[in-house]
Structure 1
Amino acid sequence: MILITLLCALLIDHLLGEPRRFHPLIFFGNLARKLEKRLNQGSHRKRLLMGIAAWLILVIPIPLLVVAVLSFVPFYIAFLINVYVVYWAVALKSLTEHGMQIYQPLTDNNLSQAQHYCAYIVSRDTSELDAQAISRATTESMLENGHDGVTATLIYFVIGGAPLVIMHRLSNTLDAMWGYRTAQFNYFGKCSARMDDLLGFISAKVTTLLFAIVGLFNGTAKMALFNAYQQSKTYKSHNGGWVMAAGATVINVCLGGTAIYFGKSVQSPQLGQGEAVQSKHIKMSLTLVRQAVCVGLIILFFLQWILF
């Protein structure tokens, strides 16, 4: 039923996209913002402790509640709950829509529109980015969020079911909201950033392997794994470094460089290897994520067939 659950959730996501109303993550984000305003005050030590408390309050209860519910409801209800959880946690169609609404203006030479939509998905300042910088920012985002919002959900459902999917997705959302080294979040968001690193460790490695398997078809598999291991050492995000370095290698592009975050210039190391980034790599990165999903489902099918 694991494979059937994933296929049903992906089909619903393909047909409907993200929930337009009553999206759980929107409600969760609003709750997190209110809690942060109340708790993110005082000394550095207090902010650090309050950040830990906020993470525990927001992330732990819901997976425990789902464990309890799944233990008592009939099988068909449990199946529907699992499908729904994977559906709202996976974001394959949403990722594609966000990437394409940047790719299309770039191909139409509409730089201002591309800058506008790029600002939706990245934390760097996009107002002064040229077409190549927008292509780089978007390609990086597609690869990293392809892990955070797509492959990680599928991987953790296989490992720990709906409760682990929820824990990872909520923790990843808090990292996206609070995991910045700014005056406001440097201490309060430290727990969220570290927990997201921990919860994404396994899924980032599995996603890297899936990218590498796709790379077998164009001869980049070995180099993708090598770059993921070497280049991630100097990247700000361990998990993101693995995923982006491997993905960029497979689609034959060199990522990294200078970007402005919260008014500060940040130099990122090289990720991947190949040609200079162009708008076409946005589309290629989205294709790679879809291919990785397909490879993962095929592997799961054969594993279940062999084992059961």
Structure 2
Amino acid sequence: MVSVSDTYFVYCACVLLFALLLDRVVGEVKCYHPLVGFGRVANRLERWLNISTGGNPKRGSYTRGALAWGLMVLPVPLVSYFANGVWVLQWPTLLRLGLDVLVVYFALGLQSLKLHGLQVYKPLNRGDLDSARHFTGYLVSRETSKLSAQDMSRATVESMLENGHDAVIATLFWFVVGGAPAVILHRLVNTLDAMWGYKNTRLHAFGWLAARSDDVLGFLPAKVCTLLYACQGGFFKAIKNAFRQGGIYKSHNGGWVMAAGATSMKIKLGGPAVYHGELVLSPALGCGRWVSYEDIPRSLLWVQRASFLFVGVVFLGGIITLCFSRFLDGV
């Protein structure tokens, strides 16, 4: 007899596929997106609790940051977890599937990523560097006023590959591992890291937990994303570069996925960039020719392929589980 656990991976694959298709057809919600409201509350809470507004971070910033993190991150996933156990699991399958699809859809950022990437690619393609610099500033925290076309191409491709993990693959991964509560937890943690996880005077202490928790939750899905990028070309070299180059990058998770993605695309990333007035030299990531603006849509293609490849693997795992279950029933 086939049990619910035997069909779990097939159910997950259906949820992920429908969420990706919904994201592709509808795109990002323009009004009343939950994460927009979350970000506004997070900004107000940070201004209220963070006392390291000038000079050196004051005593207590770590504690206040941890308190703010707990207030922003924990309530919704906990409520979702208990509601899932008490009510949602009792719902009809189609109703439960619809709710899970919506949760994953709101957490996904694939079409949003494509929109922001093409906003840089299109002006670069027609030689409009000022517009390209303007839209590059939406993607990265580095200074963009003096970036060349090659610099902007590098920044955008790096952002596409890294955010392909943060906004797409990690969401898919955590749904399979922990369902909707895990997806919500990761998305809130990742959003707070993007807002508070800077090593400047104001946020270095206050945002420490936000940054570290995102590193922890991103560790396993980053390795999965690395494999998915590597499967698209030069597998063994991509894995080797992810280990060697990504391991010395400023962000462990980001370094792994970017090194694997760049190697698979046969391009090189990394190099100097100015962050908050300071020159930062990043190690080379990948191998081949230096990145160009034509690689921006290619990097988006790599992310799209990785997402559907992940769904395919989950579905295949579900089919194998079902077949194995039926085999055991027949023994």
Shorter-chain TM-score category? over 0.9
The answer (yes or no) to whether the contact 2:158–2:269 under 8 Å persists in 1 is yes
RCO comparison, higher one (Cα < 8 Å, 6+)? 2
Unaligned 5+ runs, structure 2: 1-10, 323-331
Superposed, which structure 2 residues align to 1:109-124 within 5 Å?
Answer: 109-124=127-142
Choose which of 278, 287, 291 in structure 2 pairs with 1:273.
287
Amino acid at match of 1:131: A
The answer (yes or no) to whether the contact 2:13–2:312 under 8 Å persists in 1 is no
Q: Which residue of 2 aligns with 1:155?
A: 173
Kindly indicate whether residue 109 of structure 2 is the aligned counterpart of residue 91 of structure 1.
Answer: yes
Unaligned 5+ runs, structure 1: none
Q: Which residue of 1 aligns with 2:46?
A: 36
The answer (yes or no) to whether the contact 2:268–2:288 under 8 Å persists in 1 is yes
Q: Which residue of 2 aligns with 1:53?
A: 67
Q: Take 1:61 and 1:77, find their aligned partners in 2: how far apart are those partners?
A: 24
Q: Take 2:95 and 2:209, find their aligned partners in 1: how far apart are those partners?
A: 35
Kindly indicate whether residue 257 of structure 2 is the aligned counterpart of residue 243 of structure 1.
Answer: yes
The answer (yes or no) to whether the contact 1:148–1:172 under 8 Å persists in 2 is yes
Choose which of 268, 293, 300 in structure 2 pairs with 1:254.
268
Choose which of 142, 163, 185 in structure 1 pairs with 2:203.
185
Report the alpha carbon displacement of residue 299 of structure 1 after superposing the two structures with TM.
Answer: 1.0
Name the larger-Rg structure.
Answer: 2
The answer (yes or no) to whether the contact 1:12–1:87 under 8 Å persists in 2 is yes
Write the deviation string for residues 13-65 of structure 1: whole angstroms up to 9, x where unpaired.
01111111110110000010000001111553400111111111111111111
The answer (yes or no) to whether the contact 1:208–1:247 under 8 Å persists in 2 is yes
Superposed, which structure 2 residues align to 1:75-86 within 5 Å?
Answer: 75=92, 76-86=94-104
Alignment TM-score, normalising by the size of structure 1: 0.96
Q: Which residue of 2 aligns with 1:285?
A: 299
Report the alpha carbon displacement of residue 79 of structure 1 after superposing the two structures with TM.
Answer: 2.1
Alignment TM-score, normalising by the size of structure 2: 0.90
Q: Take 2:264 and 2:294, find their aligned partners in 1: how far apart are those partners?
A: 14
Provide the secondary structure at the position in 1 that maps to 2:200: coil
Q: Take 1:102 and 1:80, find their aligned partners in 2: how far apart are those partners?
A: 34
Superposed, which structure 2 residues align to 1:67-82 within 5 Å?
Answer: 67-71=81-85, 72-73=87-88, 74-75=91-92, 76-82=94-100
Provide the secondary structure at the position in 2 that maps to 1:259: strand
Sequence identity percentage: 48
Amino acid at match of 1:256: G
Report the alpha carbon displacement of residue 272 of structure 1 after superposing the two structures with TM.
Answer: 0.9
Choose which of 10, 22, 28 in structure 1 pairs with 2:20.
10
Kindly indicate whether residue 79 of structure 2 is the aligned counterpart of residue 65 of structure 1.
Answer: yes
Q: Pairwise CA RMSD of aligned residues?
A: 1.1
The answer (yes or no) to whether the contact 1:225–1:246 under 8 Å persists in 2 is yes
Q: How many residues matched?
A: 304
Amino acid at match of 2:145: S
